[in-house]
Structure 1
Amino acid sequence: MVPEKLQMQHLAWRAGFGERYPVIADWTHKRRKQIVSKILIGPAKDETTPIRIIDQSDLPDYKKKKDLDADTRKMVQQMNTQGIKDLNVSWVNEMVRSTHPLREKMALFWHGHFACRTQNVLFNQQLLDVIRVNALGNFGDLLTAVSKTPAMLQFLNNQQNKKAHPNENFAREVMELFTMGRGNYTEQDIKEAARAFTGWAFDEEGNFVFREKTHDEGVKNVLGKQGNFNGDDVLKILLEKKATAHFITAKVYKFFVDEQTSDAEKINTLADKFYSSGYDIKELMRNIFMADWFYDSQLIGTHIKSPIELLVGFRRTIPVDFDREEVMISFQQVLGQTLFYPPNVAGWPGGRNWIDSSSLMYRMQLPSMILYEKDFNIQPKEITPEMGMGSYKTTQEVNEAAKKQYAKKIKGLIHWDDYLQDYKDVTRDDLAATIADTLLQNSKNVSRQILENYADITSREQFIKTVTIAVMSTPEYQLC
């Protein structure tokens, strides 16, 4: 039987980015149903506050962009590049400070599921808003809203999808990556669906528009159904297919439960309930977090933290404000997950792909680099200009900005006081074990004696700090 405290730590990491010692201690004495409901609902009167970096009025008139002179075009490009970096930093800060971490964790999942690259900061901002607002809502609503964003329509070339020359990119990815997955449709289904999505576009200000003149009004045959379908009709047909519920459930299971193996029986049961609920995401997560099997010892401490999970979890444990918050983007690049720059249309592969010899070493050095304000002397990995984006120059600008952090000292204001207060009631003899047990899902392999030997014993405060940094620098801290 897995101890309740460890069960709650497991829940805190999978449904968020970990919680500190007093929170786990509080949860341990309450019923699972009560804690899960609190995690799903979030704080009272919680509303998703949009992350706004820039407004339409801040940029030169996009309607005349083709007529802009070279200097103005360059300024617009720089504002977009900087805006996307600011959006990245702001979302990370929202994850760190959020009182509803499951919403941000769920949004992070959807950010990878609906993988998209655009160099327009307004489009990125809008897509992120749609994902965060619908993260725990209805999947059908989320799918429809995302499909109508200028970011996705532009990225998947649906602006070029017209009845005279249908473009199949959007229809293909909607079926293959967003809903049913491969093997559940034919090439003919894609061709017919593409005809249905003709006319779906956006105007100069990024508003969705349906252009009747470019829409194919003919009869289409999609997945065994026949009619004069439009894009909304196709999305409804896709949602009617149980394959969609299964595909989404399997991806959620991999992300939140087990990235190594998939349990067909559990996934099928969850998918059936998900389908019957009308694609209620919150209920799907409730069914996962309430299941006894979710707390099986075989699943605890087996998930390799993604770079964002690692960075956010670290900062939620020990609050730190960086002198230059953009250093967070350099951290992301070194670790291999830069928000708003997925590697391809399938998103980040996750799992063991996060770890190689250099990134593991860097992960283990990161706590001491930040908390001891050491030099940042690890070269960030370059983001590649993928997927025919035609954005090589902009991508290189992001890479150059990250390189500028190279060999600079990391300066941050570390708020130790709150963290030290967490352990005020723990006896000196129990400190090392309590810290290790709180920060790790599997602390058995971490020697308490070694922690004691290497800790600074000049004061209780220094002891807590040095033990914490030592524990965070272990391979075990990379898992949750």
Structure 2
Amino acid sequence: MDIVTKQPQEIARLRYLYSRAGFGATPAELTEASRQSLRKVVRKLVKDSESITDLQVVEADQNETKRQLKGLFRDGQLDKDMLKERIRQNAEKVRDLNLQWIDQMALGKSALREKMALFWHSHFACRAQGRNPLFMQKYANTLRQNALGRFGDLLMAISKSPAMLQFLNNQQNRKNAPNENFAREVMELFTLGRGNYSEHDIKEAARAFTGWQFTSDGKFVFRERVHDEGEKTIFGKTGAYKGEDVVDMLLERKETARFITAKIYRFFVNEEEDKKQVDTLAEQFYKSNYDIAQLMETIFSADWFYDSKNIGSHIKSPVELLAGLRHTLGVQFDQPQPQIFVQRTLGQLLFYPPNVAGWPGGKNWIDSSSLLFRMQLPNYVLKAAEVAIRPKEDGDVNTEPLARKGAARFQTKIDWADFEASFAKISDNALTDAIALTLLPFPLRAEQRSIVEKQTKPDQTRSERIRALTAALMSLPEYQLT
């Protein structure tokens, strides 16, 4: 299927849509989409994301969990060697969970769902405490299952996930000794945002969340014996509230709809917020009972979404960069470690956000130590190069087992045949611009075209020329933008 070049503006629009609503598109996907109206393409993105394949690296089996715990003891004493080995095994399983998720992103079959889940991972930021793969598996699948549903369902489900309850210390939140950490983050980071609640609201909400705990095999449990049954006054209302009541109260507040909508806008549209557009979207979001899929369809179908000020304004996160590169060219890695290496080196390792506020994003992705590696990454991947760069030291003992000393080698398989087929009928003179149209947010400038074409050789075959041009175009700074 040849790339359509008679309507470059339409292809450019679709490239932008697919990069924001997913992880980019192949030239064949762009050509196919160009035959439909934009509204139909958006609806197809939503529909294609209705199905989900759960990530699974460990069985959620209560008896197996008990056997594992029992196996750490010998003669009634904790076996430190066994504990060390178990920690190593768990770290590897969390790594495998990471790679399974990257695979799902790169497939592109449920691109919008996976992109939304990545957004929610930073919004509901949670680290792999104790490297527990079962808890992180449940957490990741909860995000992915609810990514395009009702925000209220997602909020309730993620708040009751063992990973989040553990991360925010709610297991220690008991009557007569309340722990405010969970209640504070639910209000400040997950729903209302700063300035829309009082310290008294947090203290009372913490009392309501007492008893929200979890079992060792990853099940939510409400323990009445540690729950504070007394009356609480939250947002001016008084009652013997429980955690579910607090969640409902948060959803009743329009500030929650405004806070969530603004954050989605900054991630999917532009970091510079358009107050009028966000206010309108937030009102619709609230009235729809927080329908996430409807909100995203509204955004991607709006004329203003395609304004020139938005195009190329988003810097790809390391995961977006990696998954997009894989999807566009059908890249498969022979070994798992390079993908972990890329994430650690560029500062976004799935399941290990820097803190409860998630990854800051935007220009924070670019610094002097990572920019050169970002620019060279396509060449490393496409040419199976060896990389001697060291990953960033994050000072986190949880990620140490994921590190590898020395060089990383990028051994890959690439589906060049499908990619090249889309340009079969493009003339040699138009080839550079045709490939650039599918990869970059802006048309090539004359000086860029000259630099890119110098990467080719006169005696190259057509196939070799396409590969050389693709690697050169992906190494331009503009490839880091969507």
Normalising by structure 1, we get a TM-score of 0.94
* Aligned-partner Cα distance in 1 for 2:323–2:400: 26
1:36 aligned partner: 42
* Aligned-partner Cα distance in 1 for 2:174–2:453: 69
Alpha-carbon contact 1:341-1:383 (below 8 Å) kept: no
Deviates more, 1:71-80 or 1:30-39: 71-80
DSSP-derived class of the 1:448 partner: helix
Task: Give the aligned residue type for 2:392.
Answer: K
Across the two proteins, how many residue pairs are aligned to each other?
466
Pick closer, same or farther for the CA change 1:364–1:433 going to 2, 3 Å.
Answer: same
* Aligned-partner Cα distance in 2 for 1:372–1:140: 46
Query: Structure 1 stretches (4+) deviating beyond 3 angstroms?
Result: 56-60, 62-68
Pick closer, same or farther for the CA change 1:26–1:2 going to 2, 3 Å.
Answer: closer
1:444 aligned partner: 444
After superposition, where does 1:361-400 map in structure 2 within 5 Å? 361-385=372-396, 392=397, 394-398=398-402
Q: Deviations over 1:41-98 (max 9, x none)?
A: 116xx52111101124565625646765323322321221111111111110111113
1:389 aligned partner: none
DSSP-derived class of the 2:468 partner: helix
After superposition, where does 1:233-248 map in structure 2 within 5 Å? 233-248=245-260
List alignment gaps of at least 5 residues for structure 1.
386-391
Displacement of 1:341 in angstroms is 0.5
Alpha-carbon contact 1:451-1:470 (below 8 Å) kept: yes
1:464 aligned partner: 466
1:430 aligned partner: 430
Q: Which of residues 297, 300, 303 in structure 2 aligns to 1:286?
A: 297
DSSP-derived class of the 2:417 partner: helix
Pick closer, same or farther for the CA change 1:210–1:11 going to 2, 3 Å.
Answer: same
1:206 aligns with 2:218: yes
* Aligned-partner Cα distance in 2 for 1:247–1:358: 33
1:339 aligns with 2:350: yes
* Aligned-partner Cα distance in 1 for 2:160–2:377: 40
Q: Which has the higher contact order (CA 8 A, sep 6+)?
A: 2
Task: Give the aligned residue type for 1:234.
Answer: V
Q: Report % sequence identity.
A: 50
* Aligned-partner Cα distance in 1 for 2:412–2:26: 21
After superposition, where does 1:171-320 map in structure 2 within 5 Å? 171-259=183-271, 261-320=272-331
Q: Deviations over 1:117-165 (max 9, x none)?
A: 1221100000001000000000000000000011000110000100110
DSSP-derived class of the 1:237 partner: helix
Task: Give the aligned residue type for 1:380.
Answer: P
Pick closer, same or farther for the CA change 1:244–1:103 going to 2, 3 Å.
Answer: same
Task: Give the aligned residue type for 1:416.
Answer: W
Question: What RMSD in Å do the two structures reach over aligned CA positions?
Answer: 1.7
Deviates more, 1:345-354 or 1:110-119: 110-119
Alpha-carbon contact 1:245-1:271 (below 8 Å) kept: yes
* Aligned-partner Cα distance in 2 for 1:75–1:301: 46
Displacement of 1:324 in angstroms is 1.1
* Aligned-partner Cα distance in 1 for 2:426–2:246: 59
* Aligned-partner Cα distance in 1 for 2:90–2:15: 39
